[in-house]
Structure formats: C-alpha cells, structure tokens
Amino acid sequence: MKENNQQDILDSLQSKEYEYGFTSDIESTMLPVGLSEDIVRAISARKDEPEWLTEYRLKAYRHFLTLSVPTWAHLDIPPIDFQKIIYYAEPKLKKPLGSMDEVDPELKRTFDKLGIPLEEQMALAGVAVDAVLDSVSVKTTFRETLAQKGIIFCSISEAVREHPELVRKYLGSVVSYADNFYAALNAAVFSDGSFCYIPKGVRCPMELSTYFRINARGTGQFERTLIVADEGAYVSYLEGCTAPQRDENQLHAAVVEIVVERDAEVKYSTVQNWYPGDKEGRGGVYNFVTKRGICHENARLSWTQVETGSAITWKYPSCVLAGDNAVGEFYSVAMTNNYQQADTGTKMIHLGRNTRSRIVSKGISAGQSQNAYRGLVKIAPKAENARNYSQCDSLLIGDKCGAHTFPHIDCRNRTAMLEHEATTSKISEEQLFYCNQRGISTEDAVGLIVNGYAREVLAKLPMEFAVEAQKLLAISLEGSVG
Amino acid sequence: MANGQQLKMLSVKNLHASVGDKQILKGINLEVKAGEVHAIMGPNGSGKSTLASVLAGSEKFTVTAGEVTYMGEDLLQLSIEERARKGLFLGFQYPVEIPGVTMANFMKIAVNEKRKAQGLEPLTAAEFLRMMREKSAIVELDSKLTARAVNEGFSGGEKKKNEIFQMAMLEPKLAILDETDSGLDIDALRIVATGVTRLKTPENATVVITHYQRLLDYIVPDYVHVLYKGRIIYSGDKSLALKLEKEGYDWLINDYRE
Amino acid sequence: MTIAEYIASEAIESFKGGVVDSSTDTSHPLVVLNPKSFKMELQQGIKAQLVIACTSSVTASVEVSLAEGVVLDIVELYAADSIVKVTVHQAESSALSTFSALLSSSHVSYTHALEGRGATNRFNALFVATGAEHQTIELNTRHLVPDCSSNSLIKGIAAGRATGEFRGLVYVAPDAQRTDAQQQNRNIQLDNAQIVALPQLEIYADDVRCSHGSTVGYEDAEVLYYMRQRGIDAATARRLQVEGFVQEVVMRCNMEPLCGIVREAVSDKMSQI
C-alpha cells in the first residue's frame, strides 16, 4: 500500500464524510466501503465501545498503515484491494427458507453424507429452526449450566459491555496488534467473535462450541476470539463445524488469543470447511488467521485442526511456553484439492524450563493444490531441558499437486532435545489394488487410506467431531482419483 | 552346592521399587552366593527386568523400601558405574546402538576403568588386542564386529553374543542376564549359553532371567524362582523350570490373583 | 600434517579447472587450493577425484559439470573463514559423492542439480563451530528429472558462543517421478552456542520417496546408562558420544591419504571444545 495512495483515499473519504453522514446515521446496516480512521471510529461507535477500545483499534489501524502484505508464505495470493472491502456490516438476515425442500440439493446431499441430524441440517441451511427446534431454550439451559460454574461464554461485544475489566486485561496480550499485517487489520476492525472465561479451578463440564453461542453466525470477516483459563481451569473449545460454510466475504482475517494460566489446560479444536472455490479455482475464501496461546507454569495448550476448506489458508496456531513445565501440542490435518492453497503449521516458543512440545502435521494434497507445513521451534537460552518432537507427513494424490515442508529450528540451550522428521508418500497402486480386490471401490479405498493416515490427529478430536471429520475428509477428496 | 562356607555375594531384602506412581517390585527377597546359578522366571510384566535394572542402578526406577547388600556393601548407595567396576554386569535385553564409537575403543575404556578401580595398570595395546581375540572366540563373535560401532548394524543374535563377549572381557563377579535368550535361533542360543557356562567359576555367580526353560537346558540352575506381581512367590530347584514349561504358571499364581 | 603441508610436501600443483577428458591425468586427486572462480567440466565417462581446500580466507564460486556417466568424488576442507558457492550440474547416470568439513567461520552453499536421469548424489558434511564462529552449510538438492537419487547427512556441532546453521532444501520438480531423496541433519549444541536448522522439502511430483529429519541434542539416556553399566563414568560417556557423533560422518570420507588429514584437522578442532 503506497503512502500517497493511502492519503488520497483517506482525503477523499474525509471529504465525503458528511455526504454519507455515517457519524450520525447509526441505524444503517452498512458502513461505506474502504478503510480509514473514521471507519475504525465508526465501527467502535456502532458497537458502543468504551474509549480505551476505540483507542486500541486506532493504534492498531495506525500501525497497520506502516505494514505491507506478508509475502513469505508458499502461496500465490491475488492482490487484495483493502479499500474495496466493506469493513462493517450488520449480520445479514436472509429470508428463512420454508422447509428442507427449498435447500440446495447439493448442500443437502453433503449433509446426509456427513450424517448431520435433520434439526441441525435445517439450522445450518437456514431453515426457520424455531419450528422444529426450540433453539432459544437449548441455549438458555446451556448458559444456565455454565453460569452456575461462573463460566462466561458470550460474544466479545457482549463481554466488552459486561466484563470490560477482563477484556481490557487480556485483549491483545497474546497477539499484539503489532504482530503482523492481518493481526493489525483485525485489531482495528474486528467485528465480533467469542469470549470465554473459566474461573480458577473450574473444569468446564461441556465442550464449548461456537455453534451454541448466541449470535454465533454472522460474526463477519474479522472474527476475534479470546479464551482465558484461569489457574487450574480446564476447557475444551470447538470452533467451526463440519458442514460446508458458504460465505460471501472473500477475505477473512481472524485472531484467536488464548491465555492458559498456571496449572490450567485448554484444548482448542477446529474444523475449517469454508468455501474452497470451484473445481477451476474460482472464488473461495481467503483465510488469514493468527492464533496463539500463552502457557504459564504447568499449563497445557493443545491445538487440533482439520483444515479442508478455503481457497487460501494462512494459519499457524502457536504456543508460547512461558512458564516452567508448560506443554504445547499441535495436531493438524490439512487437506487441499483442486486449486486450493494451504500454508499452515505452528510455532512453539520455549521460554520456561522443562517445557515440552509435540507437533504432528498431516498434509494431504490432491488435484492442482499446494499444501505446505511451516513451523518454528525456538528454544530460548533459559529453557533448560526443553523437548520437542515434530512429525510432518505429506500424502500426495495425483501428480499435479505439491507438498512442502518448511520447518525452522532455533536452539539456544544445550540441554534441549529436538527432533523433526518428515516424509512424503503417495497412495500406492498396490494398496488400491488390494482394496479393490476385496470389493472396495477406489473412492472408498482412498477415503479409508486417508483416514488411516490422519488417524493420529483425528483421535485428538472430541468423539462426535472426529466422526464427522472423517467423513469430511472423504467428501473433500471426491473426484480426486480415477 | 549351597553350604554355609560359600561367600555371600548378593542379599536382597524386602526390595520395593516403582516407576512414576507405579509400584513394580513389592518386596523381593533373594540370596545369591558365589558359584551359584539362579534362574528367575515368571509371566510378562511380573517385574523380572525391573529387578535386573534396579540392581544395575537404572535411574528410571525409584527404590522405595528394602535393602541390597553386594559383597558386603550397600549396593543402593553406589552409582551405576561403581557397581559395574565392582563386578556387577547386566546383559541387556535390548542392547543399544552407539553410533560412531567402535567396540574396540569402548571396551578398552571399560576394561581400563575397571582395572583403575582395582588399582591395576591399564592394559597395553598389545595385551588388550590379545584379550579381545581370546574372548571373542568364546562366543564365536566375528572379529570384524569389534571394528564396528557398538551394536550398530548388528543382528539380534550378534547383539546378544556381543553382550556375552563384553561379559567375558569384564570378568564380572555377578552377571545378571536379562532375557539373553529372547530372539535367538537355536544355534545362537547354544553359542550364547555355552559361552556363559564356560565363564562360570566357583568365585562368580549368575542370575539368568528368562521366559523359557530351553536356555536352562544349557545353563543349569541351582535355584529357580518364580516372580509374580513384584514378589518371588515360589522357589525350587531345576525341576521347577520343567514343571513350569509343561504346566504353565496357572497352578502357582491362582492364589495371587487380585 | 595440515592440508597445506601435504600439498607442499607432495609438490602438488593447484588444479586450474577447465575441461577434464581422457587426456587429463586423473590417477591422483585434482587439488584446488583457495579458489576464487573455479570452473570444471568433466567429459563423458570420466572418473576423477577433486579436493577443494581453503586454507586462507576466500570468497569463491565453484562450478562443476558432470557429463553422462561421470563418477566424481569431492573432498572439501574449510580451514579458513570463507564464503563459497558450489554449483554442480549432473547429467544422466553421473555419480557425485561429496565430503565436506567446515572448521572455521565459513558459509558454504551448495546447489546440486540432478539434470539427467539416473544421476546419484551422496553428500556428507560436518561443521564444528567453536568460540564466536558462525558456520553455515546450505544445501539445495534439485531433482529436476525422474529416476534420480540423493542421500545427504549433515552433522553439526556448535560450542562456546558459536552459531551453527544448516539450511537444506530438497526440491522435486513436476514430473521428476521416482525420485528418492533422503536428507538427515543432526546437531549437537554445547555451552552457550546456537543451532539453527531449516531442513525443507518442496515436492511437485507424487511417485517419490522423500524424507528428511533434523535433530538437536545428543544425550541419549539409554546410551549413557549402557556405558555406565560397563563401568564408564558419565563425563567420559558423554565425551565418547560426542566423538562418536563426529566419527559417524568422518568415517564416510574415503579418499586416502586426504581423509587422514581431514580426520586430523577435525580432531584438532574437536580438542578446542
């Protein structure tokens, strides 16, 4: 972004301020296209945010102006005009469909394959759910159970209003707005997201899923998630769902921050199945995500992700192992088909003594896709007896795709033991022949073999999620063989 | 065999040991005198290998109770290498590979460390080579192997022969052989067992840990002990091994099931 | 004996490069001392041995082309701070075997391009960085055509306040099917040193066997226990492990008497640890 261009745009927007009158017109559902300080202020005003948060956004925005788009990833990203994006829109309410018969048959077929219960299918497809499922009461019961334990689980906007002291303490404490281009953008314009706080010593009795969170849908392109597990707390958090998610917003830049206090444990599981574009590589979501957690003494953070969607994935869920004996884990299956591109991995930053980390990454590339693992394992001078084990495997399906591994090891303590291994393989003719001979179709055989290959990671997912993820892998591969 | 005149070599009393929170040895009692051969048998997971490791001083295990006297000394106070230099030898079930360190160099250091502890001069290169040649013949170890890195690229049988070769080199007072027979074909078993028998003298003792009676056809034990759930539940003479081979452990362990 | 003494004692003339064909005397190793810009073209079927030694600081570029069926062994020794770029082109069925030892603050980057079917490439290298040195080995093994194989072992030790760095890349071009590429990197870090490793794979063909591994740290608790059980104290056992670590790659140098000199230089360097 050239400085003078930027200034021109800012000037032109400022000169039009009164024309649009967006400072007073808080009733409109959309802000004008483009990005400026006024837009940032307007987003904050629209959400009735306190001054400190407006200032935080502005600081982030000013910093964003000094940054340029990162180009180091193994991705071919078409130029994105950040002034052509609408940075704030109220959740668009589509007209609910009358019944399941009105749902796109292709979508319905996928739901059936995934084995999603009818009620959920309707909810996901946008059928008026109240008729079949009393969602309000489900959510209310859910919230009551959590409230009894003192657990806060709400949208981040709500948290800003209801628990400003917690948000102010932790927001930006793990992922600074200065962290990278997309994190700065997110900090300036984040629309909404989830907030979760587990008090000291509390074990969250259920898996927290974004699916159950009120206003979970329509959080927009710039989602912000903040999870805090106070001392000795435990929570398992599920993001996304296995059903295909279509979104008209092409650019997504989310930030997830996790604070794992002393003796606490957080499991964060993601199934990402955004629209990947069509078979010719047209359309699809660009997903630039910054996810990071900090682990204090004896804390444990485990990231598990199944990435099958998006045209472009740029995502490195990371762990800062700040306290002694902290443990960080990263389990990932990233599948790309057709023209998808993924550059994903993790960073394990060992600062404390006896810190341990484990990385298991399984890449699957098919079609014309490019799939890269990128990782950093860093051992600081004071991280005595740190241990890391990394295993990064790639499976290639077809001869037009690419599989890449870019690990970076930086070790500054002599007592550390680090081990990285990577292999590349393909599904062999012999394996397919063997399955065929036993009466299994090639497509099913590929599904079987791929699931076997990804098993170590899938096993880390909560049970029902794992079953769906398995089916999802098979579906995402459709048409990639034979 | 066993009479009061013999030198008491090893005395284990009420030995308890654990790994992490898991108690594995739950009160072992065992007396071994010079000139004796003891066999320790028992089903998988009964604690046989743990006993061997604890006696050798492995830091994986924590001794939680009991005492062990070896040659009149408190064994548990000694470091791994002190125990070794005082003549305690452990033949490993899974000998590790040590890349880049040749067998010859490794053994030379080990032999001379032991001699130093005994107040002896180190061997000259010629004396050492002669010793290597003599001892490798005992287990029919291919002399080329001594030029290779320790255990690296050795077959399963070669690794076990190599353990007995090292035993011959170090001339231990008490040799504990942990499943030395596992994974050996019949020829290798004969060679290993014959090697052990040839190294037997009235001054040393051998504790053989094994699953199968077949090794005991070659190394005839004076005593056979059955280890189960961390305790020696039955002791007998060599006929016990034959009975176990025929009838299994069920008749013995029924009373001990939890 | 140092490499310089050896060259002086044998009255070896530094090889100037150019075309190597059947008229060139290849009965003894061709020795290149402190190159600047060195080019060499080996004609079809030639078997030769090449020694590259840097005994004074140089900034150099070395380019070697192997025609069909050429068999070339290279031994490289960096005893003085140098920046060297080595580029090798390999035609069909050629075989290259490299042994390289960095014993000074050098940065040596290799680009090995396998351009003809059936080419094989073996690469063994060692760096030993002490004091405040910064040593870097870069290895870019490029499989550009089908049916080639490469096998690399890079070992590094950094001690004192030194930094040792390995940057590896195995590149497999589209259609370079049936590639077999193995790259192993092992490092030991002592004192307050730093190890940086970036072993990378970039693969655009599916019928391949590619793997890499990279480790930092050497203390194998099992090995330590085994050695102590044989009466060797912990300090000696650790030293033996470090020596064994180096020996494993040094033993792969087999161009006598050069390798004797290399071994001596390595053990001199090791004594600084």
Whole-number pLDDT of residue A16 = 31
Q: Is the pLDDT of residue A19 over 60?
A: no
Of all helices (H) and strands (E), which one includes residue A170? helix A164-170
Cβ-defined contact of C233 to B58 (cutoff 8 Å): no
- Does B258 map to a domain? no
Select from B84, B96, B101 the Cβ nearest to the Cβ of C231: B84
Q: pLDDT band for position A7 (50/70/90)? A: very low
Q: Is B1 helix (H, G, I), strand (E, B) or coil?
A: coil
pLDDT tens figures, A393-435:
999 998 999 999 999 999 999 999 999 999 998 988 888 888 7
Task: State residue A187's pLDDT score.
Answer: 96
Query: From the candidates B61, B96, B102, B120, which should be mutated to test the interface with C, based on the most C CB atoms within 10 A?
Result: B96
For residue B225, being part of any structural domain is answered with: yes
Q: What is the DSSP string of B150-173?
A: ETTT--HHHHHHHHHHHHHHH--S
By the CB < 8 Å criterion, does B114 face chain C? yes
Q: Measuring CA to CA, which residue among A223, A222, A245 is closest to residue A87? A: A222
**DSSP assignment, residue C170?**
E
| C-alpha to C-alpha distance for B204 and B172, rounded to whole angstroms | 7
Out of A115-124, A352-361, B191-200, which region has the weakest mean confidence (pLDDT)?
A115-124
User: Is A422 near chain C, with CB under 8 Å?
Assistant: yes
DSSP line for C105-169: S-EEEEEEEE-STT-EEEEEEEEEE-TT-EEEEEEEEEE-SSS-EEEEEEEEEE-TT-EEEEEEE
* Cβ contact B96–C245 (<8 Å): no
Q: What is the pLDDT of residue A224?
A: 92
- Check A396 against C203: CB less than 8 A apart: yes
Query: Of the segments A178-182, A283-287, A428-432, which one has the largest average pLDDT value?
Result: A178-182
Q: Of A314, A312, A324, A366, give the one whose Cα is nearest residue A345.
A: A314
What does the alpha-carbon distance between residue C128 and residue C105 come to, in Å, rounded to a whole number? 9
> Does residue B249 belong to any structural domain of this protein?
yes
Is C240 contained in some domain? no
Nearest chain C residue to B167, by CA: C230
pLDDT computed for residue A401 by the predictor: 94
3-class secondary structure, A135: helix
Q: Of the ranges A71-80, A137-146, A281-290, A447-456, which one carries the lowest mean pLDDT score?
A: A137-146
Residues of B in contact with C155 (CB under 8 A): none
Global pTM reads 0.82
Q: Is the pLDDT score of A20 beyond 50?
A: no
Q: Do A422 and C213 count as a contact with CB atoms less than 8 A apart?
A: yes
Q: Please say whether the beta carbons of C136 and C110 come within 8 A.
A: no
Chain C residues close to A449, C-beta within 8 Å: none
B99:C245 CB<8 A? yes
Chain C interface includes B81 (CB < 8 A): yes
At residue C9 the predicted structure's pLDDT band, cuts being 50, 70 and 90, is: confident
Confidence of residue A171 (pLDDT cuts 50, 70, 90): very high
Distance from CA of B147 to the nearest CA of C (A): 12
Query: C223: which chain B residues are within 8 Å (Cβ-Cβ)?
Result: 96, 98
Q: Does B92 contact C at CB distance below 8 Å?
A: yes
Q: For residue B5, what pLDDT band results from cuts at 50, 70 and 90?
A: low
Q: Residue A6: which pLDDT band, with cuts at 50, 70 and 90?
A: very low
The more confidently predicted of residues A101 and B189 is B189
Number of separate domains in chain C: 1
pLDDT at A447 over 90: no
Identify which of A159, A97, A147 has the alpha carbon closest to the alpha carbon of residue A126.
Answer: A97
What does the pLDDT read at residue A445? 83
Domain assignment present for residue B203? The answer is yes
C227 vs B contacts (CB less than 8 Å): 98, 106, 110
Between A102-106, A152-156, A306-310, A405-409, the lowest mean confidence (pLDDT) is in A102-106
CB nearest C216 (choices: A381, A400, A411)? A411
Residue C248 inside a domain? The answer is no
Q: Which residue segment(s) compose the domain that B71 sits in? A: 2-253
Residue of A nearest to C190 (CA): A414
Closest partner residue to C226 among B96, B109, B114, by Cβ? B96
Q: Distances from the Cα of A356 to the Cαs of A301, A351, A377, A383, in angstroms?
A: 11, 10, 11, 10
- pLDDT of B135 > 70? The answer is yes
Q: What is the DSSP string of B9-71?
A: EEEEEEEEEEETTEEEEEEEEEEEETT-EEEEE--TTSSHHHHHHHHHT-TTSEEEEEEEEET
Q: What is the pLDDT of residues C50-108, one digit of tens each?
A: 999 999 999 999 999 999 999 999 999 999 999 999 999 999 999 999 999 999 999 99
Global ipTM: 0.89
Give the pLDDT confidence score for residue C48 in this predicted structure. 96
Indicate left, alpha or beta for A2 from its phi (over 0: left) and psi (-120 to 50: alpha): beta
**How confident is residue A23, by pLDDT bands cut at 50, 70 and 90?**
very low
**Total domain count, chain B:** 1
Q: In chain A, pLDDT over 70 holds for what percent of residues?
A: 78
**DSSP H or E run through C222:** helix C221-229
- Minimum CA–CA partner of C225 in chain B: B58
C232 neighbourhood in chain B, CB within 8 Å: 81, 106, 109-110, 113
Q: Is C213 within 8 Å of A420 when comparing Cβ atoms?
A: yes
Give the separation between CA B64 and CA A104, rounded to whole angstroms. Answer: 68
CB pair distance less than 8 Å for C236 and B99? no
What are the tens digits of pLDDT across the range A40-56? Answer: 999 999 888 999 999 99
* The predicted structure's pLDDT at residue A4: 43
CATH number for position B210: 3.40.50.300
Chain C residues in contact with A394 by the CB 8 A cut-off are 201, 203
Average per-residue pLDDT for chain A: 82
Q: What would the pLDDT profile of C160-172 be if each residue is shown by its tens digit? A: 999 999 999 999 9
Compute the distance between CA of residue A219 and CA of residue A222 in angstroms, rounded to an integer.
8
Residue type at position A41: R
- Confidence band, pLDDT 50/70/90 cuts, at residue C124: very high
User: Among A396-410, A466-480, B16-30, B159-173, whose mean pLDDT is lowest?
Assistant: A466-480
Best residue in C169, C187, C188, C216 for a mutation probing chain A (most A CBs within 10 Å): C216
Structure confidence at residue B205 (pLDDT): 96
Predicted local confidence at residue C90, as pLDDT: 98
pLDDT on residue A242: 59
- B85 and C234 within 8 Å at the Cβ level: the answer is no
Band of the pLDDT at A122, cuts 50, 70, 90?
A: low
Pick from A417, A421, A425: which is nearest to C213 by CB? A421
- Using an 8 Å CB-CB cutoff, list residues of chain C that contact chain B: 220, 222-223, 225-234, 236, 240-241, 243-248, 251
Which residue of chain C is at minimal alpha-carbon distance from A365?
C206
Distance between CA atoms of A27 and A48, rounded to whole angstroms?
13
Determine contact: A421 vs chain C, CB below 8 A: yes
Q: Does residue C75 fall inside a structural domain?
A: yes
Residue B92 to residue C246, Cβ atoms within 8 A: no
pLDDT tens for B83-119 read: 999 999 999 999 988 888 889 889 999 999 999 999 9
pLDDT score at A119: 55
Report chain B's C-alpha Rg in angstroms: 18
How close C12 gets to chain B, by Cα (Å)?
33
How sure is the predictor about A21, in pLDDT bands with cuts at 50, 70 and 90?
A: very low
Query: Which residues in chain C are contacts of A398 at CB distance < 8 A?
Result: 206
Q: CB burial class (10 A; 0-12, 13-18, 19+) of residue A248?
A: exposed
Q: What's the rounded Cα separation, in Å, for the pair B91 and C226?
A: 10
pLDDT at A133 over 50: no
- The answer to whether A and B touch (≥3 CB pairs < 8 Å) is no
Rounded CA-CA distance B11/B160 in Å is: 27
Alpha-carbon distance of B227 to B38, in angstroms, equals 12
Asked if the Cβ–Cβ distance from C230 to B166 is below 8 Å, we say: yes
Q: What angle do CA B234, B239, B244 make, to 5 degrees?
A: 60
Best A406, A424, A425, A428 member to test C by mutation, with max C CBs in 10 Å, is A424
User: In whole angstroms, what is the distance from residue B149 CA to residue C241 CA?
Assistant: 11
> Chain C: residue nearest B97 by CA?
C223
What length does chain B have?
Answer: 258
Tokens, residue A4: 């003078």
Full DSSP string of C5-72: HHHHHTTPPPP--EEE-TTS--SS-EEEES-SEEEEEE-TT-EEEEEEEESS--EEEEEEEE-TT-EE
CB pairs below 8 Å between B and C: how many? 78
| Contact check, Cβ <8 Å, C205/A399 | yes
DSSP A212: G
What's the pLDDT tens digit per position in A308-318? 988 999 999 99
Q: How far apart are CA B240 and CA A228, in angstroms?
A: 63
Residue A3 has pLDDT above 70, yes or no: no
Answer yes or no: are the C-beta atoms of B84 and C228 closer than 8 Å.
Answer: yes
Look up the domain containing C153 and give its range: 3-220
Band of the pLDDT at A243, cuts 50, 70, 90? Answer: low
Out of A400, A413, A420, name the one closest to residue C214 (CB). Answer: A420
| Residue A218 pLDDT class (50, 70, 90 cuts) | very low
User: Scanning the structure block, which residue is given the tokens 């970039």?
Assistant: C202
- Predicted confidence (pLDDT) at residue A277 exceeds the cutoff of 90: no
Residue-level pLDDT at A123: 53
Residue-averaged pLDDT of chain C = 94
Do chains C and B touch, with touching meaning 3 or more CB–CB pairs less than 8 Å apart?
Answer: yes
Q: How many CB atoms lie within 10 A of CB C118?
A: 18
Q: Which residue of C has its CA nearest to B108?
A: C232
Are B213 and B10 spatial neighbours (Cβ–Cβ below 8 Å)?
no
Closest CA to A310 of A288, A292, A333: A288
Task: Name the pLDDT band for A473 (thresholds 50, 70, 90).
Answer: confident
pLDDT of residue B79: 92
Contacts of C241 in chain B (CB under 8 A): 98, 101
CB contact under 8 A, A412 and C206: no
**Are the beta carbons of A256 and A291 closer than 8 angstroms?**
yes
Tokens of C260: 């004797």
Flag the least confident range among A199-208, A279-288, A291-300, C5-14.
C5-14
